[in-house]
Structure 1
């Protein structure tokens, strides 16, 4: 068993099975990361540069895309480097930083989706009070909340993890996550505060989920009464609903597998389950919103036709 004073490196053993195909995987991953970067950066630039898109819904979408760039940058560059390296290792400090980025990215996404649900609720259920309720000041407060809350929560989580004594150094994954770091700690060093804060974190984000469910119950009730509201729902809520369902499915699947899943599955399948939340939402969100939201679609088509003339 490793002594705590000597565990300054973690070894990402989940990558070992992919090394026979590392050139093909490296090429595909690099291309995929470039697509993620291009799609999200393009949408951010379109929203920032077009004053007609400086509305709450589009600003929140811009926040989603920025979060996608933040989260994927915490994984893909390191993974690409690992594919080119003979030893897939990460420093203790680097592992804590990556765990912080992964958790804060996922929880930022849920927080932003909750704010977007609230925005759609106000726009459709209380249209006369929408502009007063969703003022620039209120919007900036909600965006700040969606970013700062996960950052503060997981700063404390990672700080508590950094105080644990490590008795293991092998991580059977492609990336570092806080739950695995805690499992590698010596059992006598895991404190009540670690467990307590984990449960508090879960409670906070489960409450986000209930809040989103509550807003959609009201949205569906309101839209059932009016044809105009049904059109609004189809245009603005359906993309959000697709993003939400995609994100919730991949996150819940990963969490359930991490806690209760069998280790008998092939390593490649375990790897795929572990990074689903970094594969699908960062690409699907800009594509769905880009095609579905009329203002963004018209702006993209306008830029495209100007480019080919």
Structure 2
């Protein structure tokens, strides 16, 4: 641990422990998980892109979601695999900050996409006659571009505040780099970083949460007051999205809790699992969830697997 204020050249990832020969087993498990994530998400991206019957707003947003899953997992797994095999768990400052950008950008796009998808489901169920005119191809393109570009902007601002910080240490108590761990190492006042974090939370996260809650309150109202067909449509289209949203929120909540509170009483393996949950389970969970529950995707995947024409 460094005691004087300095710009560090590397960071030590202290959450790793000596696993002996088991590291090769862990490496194979993580590698298989990564390959499964890549294959599952790529398959669904290709299925959506090449089939014109899936060129609808809901599937376009799903495609954006799967692209983001590939992006986010690629920001974590290669470095994680290297660290599992390595006996010295250090990462260069540049690689650490690159991973921070990668991970936080992934989280921002993921949450934005889930928020926009809830709005899309709200229009489809609560305003079905106006859906085609209100959710046009142009609007889908604008919403998708906004999600990605705004996430770039907010993440760049966050990084511009974190990179220049003078640090009094170089030890991160995790298996990967994250922004809050860097901010906690700062020697001097980090009020600006904290203010930006609060502003982002209230202007983006709280806004999206309110939007999601409003859409599902309206959807539930229509379900209870509508006919059986309406209820069935709402259940079939909203269940996968709601499950994905809860899964991501669960992982993100524990990640935030670990950064803000002392978790030393929690077993280290459980802490590692919880810190990785939102970056590993979501990219694996979504393709399985949507592939099994969306009938159009399921039928096309079966036709591709067994060589049948649709």
Per the normalisation by structure 2, the TM-score is 0.95
Alpha-carbon distance, 1:63 to partner? 0.7
Instruction: Tell me the CA shift for residue 264 of structure 1.
Output: 2.6
The Cα of 1:65 is off from its aligned counterpart by: 0.6
Go from structure 1 to structure 2 and tell me whether the alpha carbon gap of 1:112 and 1:193 turns closer, same or farther (over 3 Å shift).
same
- Relative to structure 1, the CA distance from residue 19 to residue 128 in structure 2 (aligned partners, 3 Å threshold; closer, same or farther) is farther
Aligned position for 1:223: 223
Higher helix share: 1
Q: Gaps spanning 5+ residues in structure 2: where? A: none
Q: CA deviation at 1:2?
A: 4.0
* Secondary structure of residue in 1 paired with 2:15: helix
Is 1:256–2:257 an aligned residue pair? yes
Check 1:126–1:19 CA distance in 2 against 1; reply closer, same or farther (3 A cut): farther
8 Å CA contact 1:2–1:168 kept in 2: the answer is yes
Conserved in 2, the CA contact under 8 Å of 1:17 and 1:267?
A: no
**1:167-223 CA deviation, whole Å, 9 max, x = no partner?**
10111111001000000111x2x3432111110111121211111010000011012
Instruction: Give yes or no for contact 2:16–2:89 (8 Å, CA) kept in 1.
Output: yes
Q: For residues 230-241 of structure 1, what are the structure 2 equivalents within 5 Å?
A: 230-241=231-242
Cα distance in 1 for residues equivalent to 2:38 and 2:254: 25
Task: Say if 2:187 is the partner of 1:199.
Answer: no
Whole-Å separation in 2 of the counterparts to 1:305 and 1:192 = 59
Q: Which residue of 1 aligns with 2:301?
A: 300
Q: Aligned to 1:10, what secondary structure does the other structure show?
A: strand
- CA deviations 1:110-151 (Å, max 9, x no partner) are 100000000000111111111111011111111112212222
Question: How far is the alpha carbon of 1:270 from its aligned partner?
Answer: 1.2
Give unmatched runs, 5+ long, in structure 1: none
- 2:11 aligns with 10
**Does the aligned pair in 1 maintain the 2:112–2:147 contact within 8 Å?**
yes
| Most deviating of 5-14 and 244-253 | 5-14
2:7 and 2:149 map into 1 onto residues whose CA distance is 34
- Partner of 1:213 in structure 2? 213
Deviates more, 1:5-14 or 1:108-117: 5-14
Contact conserved, 2:7 with 2:166, CA < 8 A, in 1?
no
Superposition TM-score, scaled by structure 1 size: 0.95
Superimposed CA distance per residue, residues 23-70 of structure 1 (whole angstroms, 9 cap, x where no aligned partner): 010000000000000100000000011111010100111111110000
In 1, the alpha carbon distance for the partners of 2:20 and 2:146 equals 41
Q: Could you say which residue in structure 2 is the equivalent of 1:153?
A: 154
Whether contact under 8 Å (1:48, 1:54) holds in the other structure is yes
Alignment of 1:41-120 (within 5 A): 41-120=42-121
* Alignment root-mean-square deviation, CA: 1.4
* 199-208 or 118-127, which deviates more: 199-208
Between the aligned partners of 2:254 and 2:6, the Cα distance in structure 1 is: 35
Change (3 A) 1:205 1:263: same
Shift of 1:6: 5.6
* 8 Å contact from structure 2 (residues 122, 216) kept in 1: yes
